[in-house]
Structure 1
Amino acid sequence: MYRSLFWPIIKLQFRCVVAIFSNHFSIPLQQICFNMEHHIQDQQFRSQFDLPKEILSTNTNDTTIPTQNQTELIVDEMNSICKEVNNDRSIADAIFRSLNESKWTFERILKGKPCDGIVHGQAQFNISQSNELIYKEQGKLILSSEKQFDITQKYIYVYNKNEDVINVYFVDNNTNKRSLIFHTIYFQSKNFLSNEWIANGQHLCNQDYYFVSYLFVFNQINLSRFEIIYTVKGPTKDYISKTIFQPLKN
C-alpha cells in the first residue's frame, strides 16, 4: 500500500503541541514520540506501482503511470484500432452515432420520368432502440407543372456492429416497426486527406432498380452535411433524386 509521510508527521506534531500546552507532556511520552518519529523516517521506500526492471534501471527520477505496466498490451490495442480504421471499420458506427437525435433541413431535386420536381422539408433521426434510428421527413413537393403536394416518409436505420454496415428498412405503418429491408449501406475506402465518406447500396422493387449513393461530410468529429442520390431505372421510371441535408439551425 502506498503511504505518504506528510500527514502522519503533521498529526504527530499536532499531538505534541496539544500535550505541551495542556501540561500532559511527560518525559517518557516525549521519548515515545521521538522513537515513533524516527521509526517513520527510517521506513524503506517502495514504489506506488509495480514497475518493470527496464523502467527502474533507466531513470529513477522519472514519474510513472499505471499504463507503463502494460506497454505491449496497449501498443497491440492501438495497432488493432489503427488497422480497423485503415480498413474503414467503425465508420458506420461513427456516422450512426452522429445521426442519433439529429435534425436536418433538406432540398431534393427530381429529374426524369415520370416528372421533374423539387422538395423542401425537414427530417430527423430519433432513437427507438440501442441500434435503431427512426428517420422521419416532412416536406412540400413542387412539380414542374407548379402543382404542390405535402409529402411524408419514414425509414428505420439499423446499425450492424458485426459487419459495420447500416441497414435501411421500410416502416410498417400499423406497428411503426421495421418491415422489409430497403437496402444496406456499404462504405467505401476513402482518401485520408479528405473529410468525405462515400457509401452505396441497391434495391430491386418488382421491375424497378434503385441504386443508392451516399456522401457524408465531417467537420472534425461532427457530421456537417450528407447527401443521398437515388438512380432509378424501370419500365415506367427513369429518374434521379438528389437530396442534400444540412443541420437544422435553432
Structure 2
Amino acid sequence: METTPLPPLACWGTPDTVFGLLEGAWDLDRLIEGKATMLGTARFTRLDGGSLKYREEGRIHLPDGQSFDGHREYVFEGIADGFSVYFAETPLRLFHEIAIVREGDELVGSAGHLCVADQYDSVYRFRADGSFVIEHLVKGPRKDYLSRTVFKRRGS
C-alpha cells in the first residue's frame, strides 16, 4: 500500500527545514514548576560553518519574591531531520540530538541526557502557529522539576 506524505506545516515546513527557521529573535516565557518563572528573549545567530549560537536573557522570579537577571548559551547544529544541541563550552559538549517527526499538527523531537546522576528528558514541539515549546523533565538525587519554555517570534 502506498502512503501519501503529509503536507508540511505552514510555519515550520518539514523536519529538515526547522533548524534553518530558528534563526532570529524570540520572546520566551518559562515556568519551572514550583521553583521560578522567567520572561526574556532568545536569539539564534548564524555562526561561520552554519551552526546557530543560542543566547537567552531574562528576568528570573522566585516564589519568595526575589528576582535577578539570568542568561544561558548553547550551540545548535543542523542534522538530517533535526539538530544537535551543544553546551557553549570549549570544546563543545553534546547536550542532545533532536530527530524531528510529525505528530498531528506539530513537529516534535525528544531526547534524553544524563548529567551526573540527574536525568534530563527533553521534548521540542514546533507548533502550527509558528511558536515552539521546549520542556525539560529533570529527575534525580539533586534535581526534580519540569521546565516549560514557550517561544514566540519577536514582533508576532
TM-score above 0.5: yes
TM-superposed deviation, 1:188: 2.9
Residue 10 of structure 2 corresponds to which residue in structure 1? none
Equivalence map 1:81-120=2 (5 Å)? 91-100=14-23, 102-112=24-34, 116-120=35-39
The number of residues matched between the two structures is 149
The share of aligned pairs that are identical, in percent, is 30
CA distance in 1, matches of 2:50, 2:38: 29
Structural RMSD (CA): 2.2
Q: Which amino acid aligns with 2:82?
A: V
Q: Is 1:131 paired with 2:28?
A: no
Higher relative contact order (CA 8 A, sep 6+): 2
Q: Is 1:237 paired with 2:156?
A: no
Q: Which structure has the larger Rg over C-alpha atoms?
A: 1
Q: Which amino acid aligns with 1:227?
A: V
From 74, 89, 97, give the equivalent of 1:184: 97
* 1:39-87 Cα deviation digits (max 9, x unpaired): xxxxxxxxxxxxxxxxxxxxxxxxxxxxxxxxxxxxxxxxxxx76x78x
Q: Which amino acid aligns with 1:233?
A: K
From 49, 57, 69, give the equivalent of 1:150: 69
TM-superposed deviation, 1:169: 0.2
Is this contact kept in 2: 1:154–1:170, CA < 8 A? yes
Larger fraction in strand: 2
Larger fraction in helix: 1
Residue 85 of structure 2 corresponds to which residue in structure 1? 168
CA distance in 2, matches of 1:131, 1:159: 8
Residue 154 of structure 2 corresponds to which residue in structure 1? 248
Structure 2 length as normaliser, TM-score?
0.86
Q: Which amino acid aligns with 2:58?
A: G
Q: Which runs of 4+ in 1 moved over 2 A?
A: 90-93, 188-191
From 208, 215, 229, give the equivalent of 2:125: 215
Structure 2, unmatched stretches of 5+, are: 8-12
TM-superposed deviation, 1:130: 4.2
Is this contact kept in 2: 1:137–1:153, CA < 8 A? yes
Residue 47 of structure 1 corresponds to which residue in structure 2? none
Q: Which amino acid aligns with 2:135?
A: I
Is this contact kept in 1: 2:15–2:102, CA < 8 A? no
Residue 141 of structure 1 corresponds to which residue in structure 2? 60
Residue 40 of structure 2 corresponds to which residue in structure 1? 121
* SS in structure 2 of the partner of residue 93 of structure 1: coil
Is this contact kept in 2: 1:208–1:232, CA < 8 A? yes
* 1:93-114 Cα deviation digits (max 9, x unpaired): 31111112x11111100114xx
Q: Which amino acid aligns with 1:229?
A: E
CA distance in 2, matches of 1:187, 1:199: 4
Is this contact kept in 2: 1:92–1:159, CA < 8 A? no
From 104, 110, 114, give the equivalent of 1:200: 110
Q: Which amino acid aligns with 2:31?
A: I
